[in-house]
Chain A
């Protein structure tokens, strides 16, 4: 280690973070060099002076209250899937309005062939109702649906329940077995229960 290299490490000797072989080498050179020792002493003094300086009042509790306020209204924050239900509801409402407007302008009855609201089709086969853990992410729920071979046909209800239906090549028993063993599902009930 050269003298310049030791000089570059002096601030880290002064703050006590230099360790291992670097520290040993630096200390050996310091032992033999009174100028380096004087520099280290000066740096230790500068550090102590800086640390003793009062930075004044930090925002503290006021800053925390401001942060919590902003976080509370922050729509872009990372939030659990469950808490984004309002967004889903808004999208669903917008889609419904769009369908109604289309029906109005084309004179088509949404009940005719060509319109199919999955959740409103009582003849599409038995459904499964599930309660999902409140901290579930959208990704986890999506993964479960793919594994179970099921799709959402209704919900979330006011109680947060989802109505699922197995896809064409999956039986309700198969889907239900996978749903019941999932960590993110709190409760499963079938239409026949």
Chain B
């Protein structure tokens, strides 16, 4: 059993120190993930708080079939989705808009990919599920299996989401550079 699983087992028995240790280990990545979805530091702090309250209350329900980090990201994911649902901001479909299949300019992608503002802008153009899959892959270095667990979908669905997300992301980055470089 890894360190985080041991901590969670102690949390399930009501050990607050173990909860604090787990919080210290995962607070930043979980907060970063939530913030990347909400773009509001105060709201994100509230959701982070709710996530760890859920960890405290339901630690006993953890079955050990996944990593603790994946389980906690799953809680955060569902909270973000619920919040978006309440506000009617959720795009839940995996529909892919029809687009011409002109491949992105690799060099333009590379240039734009170095600019955080461009990357952030292009990530925001993706659908929620696509953006979350890419975010978890690039921010948290999760495997597609882990992302499938967080999102509660089959691995094939994650691969499809990532495939389209990557395509749209690179196309967007390519166009960002084309627009900013004078002809």
Residues of B within 8 A of A (CB): 12-14, 16, 19-20, 23-24, 27-28, 31-32, 35-36, 41, 45, 48-49, 52-53, 56-60, 103-104, 106-107, 109-110, 113-116, 119-120, 134-135, 137-139, 141-144, 159-160, 162-163, 166-167, 169-170, 173
A143–B104 alpha-carbon span in the complex (Å):
66
A191–B10 alpha-carbon span in the complex (Å):
37
Counting CB contacts under 8 A, is A79 at the interface?
A: yes
Residues of A within 8 A of B (CB): 4-5, 7-12, 14-18, 35, 38-39, 41-43, 45-47, 49-53, 55-60, 63-64, 66-68, 70-72, 74, 76-80, 83, 135
A39–B162 alpha-carbon span in the complex (Å):
14
- B173 near A11 (CB under 8 angstroms)? no
A residues within 8 A CB of B28? 55, 58
- A79 near B138 (CB under 8 angstroms)? no
A33–B107 alpha-carbon span in the complex (Å):
16
Q: Per a CB cutoff under 8 Å, which of A7, A50, A58, A77 touches B139?
A: A50
A51–B53 alpha-carbon span in the complex (Å):
27
**Chain B's nearest CB lies how many Å from the CB of A63?**
6
* Contact A35 B106, CB 8 Å, known A11-B162, A67-B49: yes
- B138 near A46 (CB under 8 angstroms)? yes
**Chain B's nearest CB lies how many Å from the CB of A15?**
4
* Contact A51 B170, CB 8 Å, known A58-B31, A68-B20, A79-B14: no
- A59 near B31 (CB under 8 angstroms)? yes
- A46 near B56 (CB under 8 angstroms)? no
Chain A residue nearest to B123 (CB atoms) is A50
- A64 near B57 (CB under 8 angstroms)? no
- B141 near A67 (CB under 8 angstroms)? no
- A45 near B31 (CB under 8 angstroms)? no
Q: Which of B53, B107, B160, B166 has the most CB of A within 10 A?
A: B166
A123–B115 alpha-carbon span in the complex (Å):
85
What are 6 residue pairs bridging A and B, where the CB atoms are less than 8 Å apart in the complex?
A4-B163, A12-B144, A70-B53, A71-B19, A77-B14, A78-B14
**Chain B's nearest CB lies how many Å from the CB of A1?**
12
- A7 near B166 (CB under 8 angstroms)? yes
A135–B18 alpha-carbon span in the complex (Å):
15
Q: A8-B166, A49-B113 are in contact. List 12 more A-B contacts (CB 8 A).
A: A11-B166, A12-B137, A39-B106, A39-B166, A42-B113, A50-B119, A57-B41, A66-B49, A70-B49, A74-B53, A74-B57, A77-B56
Chain A residue nearest to B36 (CB atoms) is A55
9 closest A-B pairs by CB: A38-B106, A8-B163, A45-B113, A42-B109, A58-B31, A47-B138, A55-B32, A46-B113, A8-B159
A residues within 8 A CB of B119? 46, 49-50
B residues within 8 A CB of A55? 28, 31-32, 35-36
- A51 near B143 (CB under 8 angstroms)? no
A55–B139 alpha-carbon span in the complex (Å):
11
